[in-house]
Amino acid sequence: MMWLSGGFIFRRGTSVYHRLDPRVKLLISSLMFVTTLLVRSLYELAMVIAFMVAVAAVATVLRRVARTMALTFIFSTVIFVLNLIVTKNLETSALYAVRFVAIVVSTSLFFITTSPDELEQVMKTFRLPRDVVFAFVTAVRFIPVMMLDTLQIMDAQKSRGLELEKGNIIRRVRNMIPVLIPLVVNSVVRSGELAEAMESRAYGAVRRPTSLVEYKASWADKVVAFAAVAIFVLTAYSFYFVLPTTVL
């Protein structure tokens, strides 16, 4: 699980890419995602990945993305082997395997450069109901709190003789029960307190709450968004009409 957190959890940054409007970052990641699905040869895929690496370099998250890529290879190896068994075609299997890496990178680029605050803003742009957005916000907000809770409970139970690291996999899973039960109980108590605090701060008072921060796409954001769409269109066009079809 740790590799996932490394590749998807936001850390504050000051790069030009970090400062882009979150909606533009979402657009770029979505377009990269779609492009990987349009790819029909390893050669084209290599171009797309090179582009992603360039974006990662601009965002100064190259090392983290590289780590995500390296760890994704476990999954892509499985994909490669399965495809090889089914299709018996080396290049198709490699394409699927590497495509998986590219898909993960395109999504992780969005998540590691976009703060939860900005994610909330993106959700609001899509006009998701306030309750849904707020549920998401609190869920993300309490991840570090619950992680700390878990560690504390684990320590407490270990000090009472619970051996978490012993036995086979079934045994280990079962060992987690004394950790999970207090964790769930804690969370239920916490949610009650949260509800009280929400009521006390007028949650749900008006249908359209206002917001302290305003995200306005700047002139630069618009240029980047336009460039991203243009690059996407050109790439898609060249995939189908310029570059020779090899595999699919």
Partner 1 sequence: MANILEIEGLSFRYPDSTRKAVVDFHLAVPEGEIVVLAGPSGCGKSTLLRAVNGLIPHMYSGEYSGDVRVGGASVKSSTMTDLAQRVGFLFQNPENQIFMFTVERDIAFGLENLGVPRPEIRSRVDEAMGLLGIGELALRAPYELSDGQKQRVALAGVLAMRPRLVILDEPTSLLDPKTAAELVGIVAKLRLDLGMTFLVVEHRLDLLVKLADRLVVMNEGKKVLEGTPREVLFGGEAEAYGVSVPAVTKVQKLLASDGLVREDELLSAQELAAAVRSAEA
Of 145 and 173, which CB lies nearer to partner 1 in the complex structure?
145
Sequence-distant (6+) residues with CB within 8 A of 164 are: 154, 157, 158, 172, 175, 176, 179
In the window 174-203, what residues touch partner 1 (CB under 8 A)?
190, 193-203
Of 6 and 116, which CB lies nearer to partner 1 in the complex structure?
116
Give the distance, in angstroms, between the CA of residue 182 and the centroid of all CA atoms in the same chain. 29
When binding is defined by CB under 8 A, the residue of 37, 74, 169, 205 that contacts partner 1 is: 205
Residue 132 and residue 78 in contact, taking contact as beta carbons nearer than 8 Å: no
**What whole-number distance in Å separates Cα of residue 130 and Cα of residue 139?**
14
In the window 219-238, what residues touch partner 1 (CB under 8 A)?
none
Nearest-CA neighbor of 42 among 97, 104, 123, 121?
97
When binding is defined by CB under 8 A, the residue of 1, 170, 213, 248 that contacts partner 1 is: 213
Stretch that binds partner 1, among 46-54, 77-85, 86-94, 204-212 (CB under 8 A): 204-212
**If binding is defined by CB under 8 A, does position 172 make contact with partner 1?**
no
**If binding is defined by CB under 8 A, does position 165 make contact with partner 1?**
no
Question: Shortest gap between Cβ of 159 and partner 1 (angstroms)?
Answer: 22
When binding is defined by CB under 8 A, the residue of 14, 159, 168, 211 that contacts partner 1 is: 211
Question: Shortest gap between Cβ of 188 and partner 1 (angstroms)?
Answer: 12
**If binding is defined by CB under 8 A, does position 117 make contact with partner 1?**
yes
Sequence-distant (6+) residues with CB within 8 A of 10 are: 111, 112, 113, 114, 115, 116
Interacting residues toward partner 1 by CB under 8 A:
115-117, 120, 134, 137-138, 140-141, 144-145, 190, 193-206, 208-214
